[in-house]
A = this chain, B = another copy of it.
């Protein structure tokens, strides 16, 4: 059986998903590439052998030939389109964030709960990265003892000029919030945000450094550094009472020249998480087949947005902010 997927959004992430679905996973056909910019959609479709293009996401979602939907369109469209998928009764893999507004996340949750069925997966692909999988396993099998702390560092080469102020918290950090929640199996209780000053005070784009506490008493810190300059680099360590687990990034080779041993950093997240995206998308399609949801749920989308909102408040107030979620519906 071949699943026909409608892909909404043909930007960088959309193009990547099109490539993954068309090349690295069996049993799936790209039925639609949908983008406002139909020329762009057409190009991706030509590259990947997708059957159709469209500029109307709702038409794609509701097309009877479309079995499942992958949303990679701009952030503000995620929630409404996900709700449209729920309304159509179709499984959907929605890129993070579900919404930058926790209330809107709750709308999606309410809609999904009403159907009584899990339809939504959020694109927190790190849950499929083998390093985080190892971390979670080490915690589960007791080899590092009970968890105490988790240290997380996220660095991009550079952010667009528009990427300022609180966007480090609302756009980049949710990956870290989600993976820490997932690895630890805990919800967050509070967040304190710190921000260093750039040498040139007229510039924007300084990192944020966050310290979170979990309901289980763990401390989690998150550095988001979107202008780290030196490379795309994600690091993490889970510290337990008996030991710790470090994340390692994929390295294929080492170059020795000019009195230096050099390992290259990727310029963006794609080489670093290529395998995680592939495994995530394959697991999503498999979960549609088996009916057993995997990966991050709409609830997880809500939880990380709620943390980000508290983070923004903390950034503004300079104090720790408490995170108070609604009661988790039984569906999740």
Contacts and interface: CB of A to CB of B under 8 A. Distances in A.
Interface of A: 21-28, 49, 129-131, 133-135, 138, 143-146, 148-149, 151, 153, 157, 192, 194-199, 206-207, 209, 211, 213, 216-219, 221, 223, 225, 227-231, 233, 239, 241-248, 250-267, 275, 278, 282
A207 B148 contact: yes
In the assembly, how many copies of this chain are there? 4
Contacts of A217: 196-197
Contacts of A255: 134, 138, 143-144, 243-246
Given A230-B244, A251-B251, A260-B265, 4 more contacts: A135-B253, A157-B259, A231-B259, A246-B255
A278 B186 CA distance: 36
Nearest to A236: B253
A221 to B, nearest CB: 7
Given A143-B255, A260-B263, A219 B192 contact: no
Given A195-B219, A209-B221, A261-B263, A245 B253 contact: yes
B253 A198 contact: no
A282 B261 CA distance: 31
A307 B207 CA distance: 24
Given A130-B253, A213-B194, A262 B265 contact: no
Contacts of A211: 192, 194, 209, 211, 221
Nearest to A21: B26
A255 B175 CA distance: 23
B248 A252 contact: yes
A203 to B, nearest CB: 9
Given A192-B192, A253-B134, A260-B262, A198 B144 contact: no
B264 A146 contact: no
Given A225-B239, A253-B134, A262-B261, A146 B245 contact: no
